[in-house]
Structure 1
Amino acid sequence: MATTAFCNDIWFTTNDSFDLIGTTAPDIGNDIGHSLNTMSIVVYSLAFVLGVLGNGVVIWVTGFKIKKTVNTVWFLNLAVADFLFTAFLPLSVTYTASDFHWPFGNFMCKLNTTISFLNMFASVYILVVISVDRCASVVWPVWAQNHRNVRKASYVSLCVWVVALILSAPYFIFRDVGPSYHNKDIINCFNNYALSGDEDTYHETHQAMIITRFLLGFVVPFTVIVSCYAVIIHRLRRNHTLANQSSRPFKIIAAIIINFFLCWAPFHIMGLIEMANHMPEYSSEILDDITIIGLPIATSLAFLNSCLNPLLYVFMGQDFKDKVHKSILIVLESAFQEEETHKVSRPVRTKRVQI
């Protein structure tokens, strides 16, 4: 169980709740703890390499190489959120590899965790916007064709980033650095919720942060997403022509949403378990073991989400045998295309032969 001690007039928690930059395991066997840390380092490193390269390509293609559409605006912002997060992963790798010693100072401790949750909130609310946009395009196609444009999509994306920044701000406020409870020579980056130096305030703030994150970062967004796709599926079943036109974009977006759900659901579930384990009435040895082992696994899954989307764009953009013969640019352009009803036909270019 994470150890809490009253130290220097603040409630200082080592290896504190979900910080998205690693969790130590002081109360389990050294072999298990070492294995978990090794797994985390491998996953973080993999997510960094694949995430920076993959999302970098998506940003390059959607931002500079293909015609801007409403869809490309959504996917560009999603890629920016993932790229920003994965670019900071070397800090988490270093933190985990150095036995959770944070050498980067208080500001970077705050910034690193804030970027992590900024990515989470921005990603899930961009998925909400994509789902609502897709629903409007299917249910009200004429209205959508007359009102959907790149400028409005850019304004909506800006609003999403503002909301995500507001929801992430508390992590910048509460993040702090200090000596580890187990080893004073090791500096931890931890959540310091005790603004008034009172234990009750610490636990209340801790619970409020986790519950708010669970509701606004998971339950509410996915309720909207599932509702939108229920309407879409109902409408597509009644209109086979529309279903054929929307097949590829629908499958890609659905895969991205399922990927986000599978990667982030364990994180939020473990957050609730960890919160319960901090309550005297629910605390137990079983929850201790679940928390200590489950936290790094759930966090690693959440990290992987940011590098998987570019792979989905490529491998679901068109048939695999076509991909091996076409450039990444064409593959991604195919993945991000609008429905056929929104596309403007292009004149056929004939090859000119010089005589």
Structure 2
Amino acid sequence: MENVTALLNRTYNYTSTDTDTIRIVHTFSLVAYAVSFLLGTTGNGLVIWIAGLKMKKTVSVVLFLNLAIANFILLSFLPLRITSFALNFHWPFGNFLCKLNSSIVFVNMFVSVFLLTVISIDRCVCVVFPVWTQKHRTSAMASMVAIILWICAVLFSVSYFIMRRTSGSEGYVSCVTNFHKTDYDTYVLRYRVTVILRFMCGFFIPFTVIAVCGSVIILRLRRNRFTVLTKPFKVIIAVLISFFFSWLPFHVISFLKMSYISGEGNTLKSVEIGFPIASSLAYLSSCINPLLYVFIGQDFKATFTTPIQINLENAFSEDIVRCDYMSKSVTTLVSNCTPHYPAKGRIDSFDTEILEG
């Protein structure tokens, strides 16, 4: 059976794809990384500054603020990856940063999808149980939930810190994931478990929950003749779609690499081309969110004439639905997840290194 060293040499030496194709893919990735860093650090930095210091701490603001923090941390480490990429994957930054840089990627992935799931659950609960949410839904609870999600994301990602390491001589050092030093079968088994667990907990299960919450919200609103307010719901949907299509290619390529390493298919060419592109899309997901907060549900001209803080307040608004109550023509606004009815008064009441996996 093939040993681990031979496996790594076979996996990290790209011979099945022509040089011109690899060069084009790498150039695309470098450009995408640069754009992600410039736009993402600026955009998420503004969101952190405005939402963290200038906006009232509602549940939505707390959750979206944590999402911006996760994206900002990820993009802050991007220059390390850009440098390595430009040096043909030579890693000059040492073993600790090799471990930390890779771990940050997956901490971001897990905490982002966990936050998006909680945002979806929160909106679902607001629509289904408005009285309960008025009494129990607080920014303090949202902060506590966010802390728990960060802890869970770190726990899910700690294996990458343990297994990630530098390999090679001083002239050329790679930052690779070694699931076992000597035994091939153990290496393959651990890689299989990692890919499947990452897909199930970091993608499939969260988006299943999100889909269920969305279905419940739609059915509830239709049954009660609600119409969705444009800005907050469109922002949430746009962020969810962005995350879904940004990370789906990464998981698909991870399964293709798993098949290749296990000797079940000749997918090396797809992996060689796919991983740099999938990596780029994952980083673009972190930089695009601030743009969605500003542009979604907004007239293009008004976007540039409205202060950023107002745009963010509209994006994170907790005014959720409008209700035509009892078939009357009077429209009332649901604010802070609490319905208001004219005749009855107030009811109390969401590894990306090439071939890294």
How high is the TM-score relative to the length of structure 2? 0.86
Asked whether 1:272 is paired with 2:255, we answer yes
Which moved further from structure 2: 320-329 or 38-47? 320-329
Of 304, 307, 332, 2:287 maps to 307
Asked whether 1:252 is paired with 2:245, we answer no
Map Cα deviations across residues 82-125 of structure 1 (whole Å, 9 max, x no partner).
00001100001000000110000000000000000000000000
Map Cα deviations across residues 282-330 of structure 1 (whole Å, 9 max, x no partner).
222xx12211111111111111100010000000153223222211111
Of 224, 233, 242, 1:239 maps to 224
Of 240, 262, 267, 2:245 maps to 262
Q: Distance in 1 between matches of 2:258 and 2:58?
A: 43
1:187 counterpart residue number = 173
- Determine if contact 1:15/1:190 at 8 Å carries over to the other structure: no
User: CA shift at 1:24, angstroms?
Assistant: 7.1
Matches within 5 A, 1:92-131: 92-131=81-120
- Determine if contact 1:14/1:188 at 8 Å carries over to the other structure: no
2:58 counterpart residue number = 69
Give the 3-state SS of the residue equivalent to 1:75 in structure 2. Answer: helix
Matches within 5 A, 1:53-202: 53-179=42-168, 185-195=171-181, 197-202=182-187
Q: Distance in 1 between matches of 2:10 and 2:218?
A: 44
1:296 counterpart residue number = 276
1:283 counterpart residue number = 265
User: CA shift at 1:26, angstroms?
Assistant: 4.1
1:20 counterpart residue number = none
What amino acid sits opposite 1:47 in the alignment? S
In structure 2, relative to structure 1, the CA distance for the partners of 1:328 and 1:192 (3 Å cut) is: same
Asked whether 1:219 is paired with 2:201, we answer no
- Determine if contact 2:44/2:68 at 8 Å carries over to the other structure: yes
How high is the TM-score relative to the length of structure 1? 0.87
Identity %: 46
- Determine if contact 2:84/2:91 at 8 Å carries over to the other structure: yes
Map Cα deviations across residues 148-202 of structure 1 (whole Å, 9 max, x no partner).
111000000000000000001000000011118xxx831100001115x211111
Of 195, 207, 210, 1:210 maps to 195
Q: Distance in 2 between matches of 1:311 and 1:230?
A: 26
Q: Distance in 2 between matches of 1:94 and 1:137?
A: 46
Map Cα deviations across residues 238-297 of structure 1 (whole Å, 9 max, x no partner).
233x424x43211110111011101111110111111011122x222xx12211111111
1:327 counterpart residue number = 307
- Determine if contact 2:4/2:187 at 8 Å carries over to the other structure: no
1:341 counterpart residue number = 334
2:353 counterpart residue number = none
User: CA shift at 1:14, angstroms?
Assistant: 4.9
- Determine if contact 1:277/1:283 at 8 Å carries over to the other structure: yes
What amino acid sits opposite 2:78 in the alignment? L
Asked whether 1:13 is paired with 2:13, we answer no
Give the 3-state SS of the residue equivalent to 2:165 in structure 1. Answer: strand
- Determine if contact 2:3/2:183 at 8 Å carries over to the other structure: no
Asked whether 1:40 is paired with 2:40, we answer no
What amino acid sits opposite 2:120 in the alignment? S
Q: Distance in 1 between matches of 2:155 and 2:227?
A: 38
What amino acid sits opposite 1:32 in the alignment? T
Q: Distance in 1 between matches of 2:105 and 2:187?
A: 22
Of 303, 318, 325, 2:298 maps to 318
1:30 counterpart residue number = 19
User: CA shift at 1:6, angstroms?
Assistant: 4.5
Q: Distance in 1 between matches of 2:7 and 2:161?
A: 16
Q: Distance in 1 between matches of 2:42 and 2:126?
A: 32
Map Cα deviations across residues 213-257 of structure 1 (whole Å, 9 max, x no partner).
1111111111111110010111111233x424x432111101110
- Determine if contact 1:44/1:93 at 8 Å carries over to the other structure: yes
Q: Distance in 2 between matches of 1:122 and 1:128?
A: 10
2:355 counterpart residue number = none
Q: Distance in 2 between matches of 1:37 and 1:330?
A: 39
What amino acid sits opposite 1:325 in the alignment? T
Which moved further from structure 2: 202-211 or 24-33? 24-33
Which moved further from structure 2: 290-299 or 312-321? 312-321
What amino acid sits opposite 2:83 in the alignment? T
